[in-house]
Amino acid sequence: MSTPQLFRIAVCLFACLVFATAGARAEAPDTIDVSTGLRSFFERYDADRGSLNRFYNIPLSANDHRRRLAFYQQQHRTLEKTDFDRLSRDGRVDYLLIRSEINLTQEKIVREAKLDAEVLPLLPFWKPIVDQLESHRRLEPVDGKTVAARLEEIEKHIVAAHAELEGSLDAAKKRWDKGTANRAARRIRDLSGSLSRWFRFYDGYNPIFTWWVKRPVERVREALDKYATLITDRLVNRVVEKPKDPDRLVGNPIGAEALTLALRREMIPYTPAELVKIAEREFAWCDREMEKASRALGFGDDWRKAQNHVKTLHVKPGEQAKLIKSLALEAERFLEQRNLLTIPPLCKETWRIQMMPASRQRVNPYFTGGEVISVSFPTDEMAHQDKLMSMRGNNIHFARATVHHELIPGHHLQDFMTARYRPYRRRFSTPFWKEGWAVYWEMQLWDLKFPSSPEDRIGLLFWRKHRCARIIFSLGYHLGTMSAEEAVDFLVRRVGHERRNATAEVRRSIQGGYSPLYQAAYMLGALQFRALHRSLVGGGKMTDRQFHDAVLKQNSIPIEMLRAALDKDVKLTRDYVVGWKFAKEGASR
pLDDT tens column, 191-236: 999 999 999 999 988 999 999 999 999 999 999 999 999 999 899 8
Asked whether residue 115 falls in the same domain as residue 130, the answer is no
Q: Which parts of the chain sit beneath pLDDT 70?
A: 1-37, 240-248, 250-251, 363, 365-366, 512, 585-589
Q: Pseudo-torsion of CA 32, 428, 193, 120, nearest 10°?
A: 80
Over its C-alpha atoms, the chain yields an Rg (Å, rounded) of 27
Tens-digit pLDDT profile for residues 523-578? 999 999 999 999 999 999 999 999 999 999 999 999 999 999 999 999 999 999 99
User: What is the number of domains present in the chain?
Assistant: 3
* Residues spanned by the domain of 77: 3-120
Asked whether residue 129 falls in the same domain as residue 107, the answer is no
Rounded distance between C-alpha atoms, residue 484 and residue 519, angstroms: 14
Nearest to 480 by CA among 510, 502, 507: 510
Residue type present at position 510 = I
Residue 254 placed within a domain: no
Q: What residues contact residue 50 under an 8 Å CB cut-off, 6+ apart?
A: none
Q: How many CB atoms are closer than 10 A to CB 246? A: 5
Cβ–Cβ < 8 Å for 253, 179:
yes
Chain centroid to Cα 461, Å, comes to: 25
- Residue environment code for 210-231, b if the CB has 16+ CB neighbours within 10 A, otherwise e: bebbeebbebbbebbeebbebb
Asked whether residue 271 falls in the same domain as residue 228, the answer is no
Residue 280 placed within a domain: yes
Residue 91 placed within a domain: yes
Among 120, 140, 169, the domain-final residue is: 120
pTM of the shown model: 0.83
Residue 574 placed within a domain: no
Asked whether residue 100 falls in the same domain as residue 130, the answer is no
Rounded distance between C-alpha atoms, residue 136 and residue 205, angstroms: 15
Residue type present at position 264 = R
pLDDT score at 587: 60
Residue type present at position 133 = L
Asked whether residue 339 falls in the same domain as residue 280, the answer is yes
Residue 571 placed within a domain: no
Asked whether residue 481 falls in the same domain as residue 355, the answer is yes
Q: Could you write out the DSSP letters of every residue in 260-277?
A: HHHHHHTT--S-HHHHHH
Asked whether residue 316 falls in the same domain as residue 446, the answer is yes
Residue 587 placed within a domain: no
Asked whether residue 240 falls in the same domain as residue 266, the answer is no
CA-to-CA dists, residue 357 to 322, 362, 379, 520, angstroms: 18, 9, 7, 27
pLDDT score at 263: 94
Rounded distance between C-alpha atoms, residue 167 and residue 170, angstroms: 9
Residue type present at position 252 = N
pLDDT score at 11: 44
Residue 163 placed within a domain: yes
Asked whether residue 171 falls in the same domain as residue 133, the answer is yes
Asked whether residue 100 falls in the same domain as residue 138, the answer is no
Helix (H) or strand (E) holding 355: strand 352-355
CA-to-CA dists, residue 354 to 98, 348, 367, 396, 511, angstroms: 37, 17, 10, 18, 24
Residues in the chain: 589
Asked whether residue 94 falls in the same domain as residue 196, the answer is no
Residue 199 placed within a domain: yes
Rounded distance between C-alpha atoms, residue 374 and residue 394, angstroms: 12
Asked whether residue 116 falls in the same domain as residue 133, the answer is no
Among 98, 120, 142, the domain-final residue is: 120
pLDDT score at 25: 45
